[in-house]
Structure 1
Amino acid sequence: MNAGKLIIGVVAGVAVGAALGVLFAPDKGTATRKKISKKGHDLTDDLERKFNKFVDTFSRKFDKLHDEANDLADEIKTKADEATSKFPNEKKL
């Protein structure tokens, strides 16, 4: 199971559990609605933080991989140029 699906499942489970817990609590309707609203905002904020952290981590890893690929391409080009310079009379493709 991938991490994204796991996080969504956990957040959904927490949200349902919190909503059911608040609905069955012995409070007035207005207090219950406020609690549900607060829990919803808290869960939304938490999900947003986790998503932003995921995006930041993904971006850093992508940038690192991109840099490594560029370095490897430069290294290959340099070695190819060195190899072809050893045979100056040969036609290049």
Structure 2
Amino acid sequence: MKADSRALLGFLAGAAVGALAGILFAPDSGTETRKKISKKTGEVGDQLKQKFNEFVDGVKEKYAGVKDQAEDVAEKGISKFNSLKNETRNTLPS
């Protein structure tokens, strides 16, 4: 997960820097440049929100899977314990 989040952050940072550099070096007036920067900032923000939400959804899915597996293991352990307990009771003299 850590590598995925670093790669995502690096990609988004690179995209933002590239877009900003392209806008700043374009031959437009100051007003047009500011409008473009504002627009690109909003777009990058939206992309960042979307990627973050996808990341959170992925974490939730993995957590749910691990939780289900842990519950299954716990249930099997309890069942095995109860089975052994009953076997022990049946083999011990009263």
Query: TM (normalized to structure 2)?
Result: 0.89
CA deviation vs aligned residue, 1:57-91 (integer Å, no higher than 9, x gap):
1101101110110111011110111011011148x
Tell me what 2:65 maps to: 64
Q: Work out the CA distance in 2 between the residues paired with 1:87 and 1:80.
A: 10
Match of 1:85 in 2: 86
Return the offset for 1:20.
Answer: 1.0
User: Which residue does 2:22 correspond to in 1?
Assistant: 21
Deviation digits for residues 32-59 of structure 1 (CA, Å, limit 9, x no counterpart):
1010111111001001001001101110
SS at match of 2:88: coil
User: What are structure 1's unaligned runs of at least 5 residues?
Assistant: none
Identity percentage of aligned residues: 41
Normalising by structure 1, we get a TM-score of: 0.90
Residue type at the aligned position of 2:28: D
The amino acid that maps onto 2:49 is E
Q: Distance in 2 between matches of 1:47 and 1:24?
A: 24
In the alignment, which residue of structure 1 is the partner of 2:6? Answer: 5
- For structure 2, the residue ranges without an aligned partner over 5 or more in a row are none
Q: Map residues 42-61 of structure 1 onto 2, 5 A cutoff.
A: 42-61=43-62
Partner of 1:40: 41
Q: Which has the higher helix share?
A: 2
Give the root-mean-square deviation of aligned CA atoms: 1.4
Q: Which runs of 4+ in 1 moved over 6 A?
A: none
